[in-house]
Amino acid sequence: MTVALAALVPGALLGWAVYETAGGGSRGGGADRTATAAPTSGRSAASPTDDAKRPSGTPAAPASGSLKGKVVVIDPGHNQGNFQHADEINRKVDIGTNKKECDTTGTSTNDGYTEARFTLDVAHRLRTLLEKQGATVKLTRDGDSPAWGPCVDERARIGNAAHADAAISIHADGSAEGNRGFHVILPGSVHAGAADTRPIVGPSRDLGTRVAGTFLRETGEPPSNYLGEGTGLVTRTDLGGLNLSTVPKVFIECGNMRDSKDAALLTSGTWRQRAAQGISEGIVSFLRGS
């Protein structure tokens, strides 16, 4: 099954039917789930140094590649500091369709490797790859700044203010053992309050299907066996980071941190590099329109 799936290319994924989940549906909740395990003080043996990190404030190399002039915003989900700022992250913010917590702690592996650390490491690796292609890359959070959050509405505003050509939020899920695989979350059509996703639904779907195809090809991680009916694509209308976006944007849940097989991949620096490569190739394909 895995071998057959790995042979798929983005063109095949573009023909997939999209499985809609209304109001969150049945999910593990990596995009907005509160973890049950607190972060560990040190690094686990399975999680190598975040070797793709560029010190905060260090300027990028001059853009010179095929994506020169393109802006990409990467949103590493959650924040290590959220564990110490419960009052702040529990504050409700308006996401258009309703009000929701500012942010959550995210999930973790059973050994304590947190989603927040995972997402930031993948974001750093992805930034490096995209900058090599000439893109201007902005992160919604970087290192220890800010100390918590940002709130989900602010994460959307960062992409909007940058006039991003593409934006992606990096996550990992926290479902049950045996539930494995990745899925890409697409914005559903929302027109309520401050939210109006109608102009971005089409281009976001294009971005998401391309990312799903290249992520599958580069990582060998199968599409989720518990969401999306095997397509690797899920549409949601309850995520502030998507509802409030005015630029093409998707979320990717790279795997399930609570499944032992997926956790072994997510805690591998080598695999995280492949994950970043897969996401990068999907974004590049989208921005080139090829």
Give per-residue pLDDT as tens, 202-228: 999 999 999 999 999 999 999 999 999
The C-alpha angle 98, 38, 101, rounded to 5 degrees, equals: 10
pLDDT in tens, 35-46: 444 444 333 333
DSSP label at residue 35: P
Tell me the CB-side half-sphere exposure of residue 156, using CA atoms within 13 A: 25
pLDDT of 80 strictly over 60: yes
Q: So what's the pLDDT on residue 17?
A: 36
pLDDT of 25 strictly over 50: no
What's the fold here for domain 8-35+66-288?
Aminopeptidase (3.40.630)
- pTM, two decimals, is 0.83
* Choice among 50-64, 125-139, 221-235, 265-279 with the minimum mean pLDDT: 50-64
Q: So what's the pLDDT on residue 66?
A: 87
Measure the CA–CA gap between 140 and 119, rounded to whole angstroms.
Answer: 12
pLDDT of 2 strictly over 70: no
DSSP label at residue 24: G
Q: So what's the pLDDT on residue 290?
A: 75
Give the distance from CA 220 to its chain's centroid. Answer: 17
Burial label for 1, CB within 10 Å (0-12, 13-18, 19+), is: exposed
DSSP label at residue 189: P
Active-site annotation holds for 281: no
Report the pLDDT averaged over residues 97-115: 98
pLDDT band at 65 (very low <50, low <70, confident <90, very high): low
Measure the CA–CA gap between 67 and 55, rounded to whole angstroms.
Answer: 23
DSSP label at residue 39: P
The two structure tokens encoding residue 124: 């750093």
pLDDT of 251 strictly over 60: yes
Q: Rounded mean pLDDT of the chain?
A: 85
Continuous segment of H or E residues that includes residue 285? helix 269-288
Active-site annotation holder among 131, 221, 253, 281: 253
pLDDT of 195 strictly over 60: yes
The C-alpha angle 200, 204, 205, rounded to 5 degrees, equals: 120
**3-state SS, residue 126:** helix
Q: So what's the pLDDT on residue 36?
A: 40
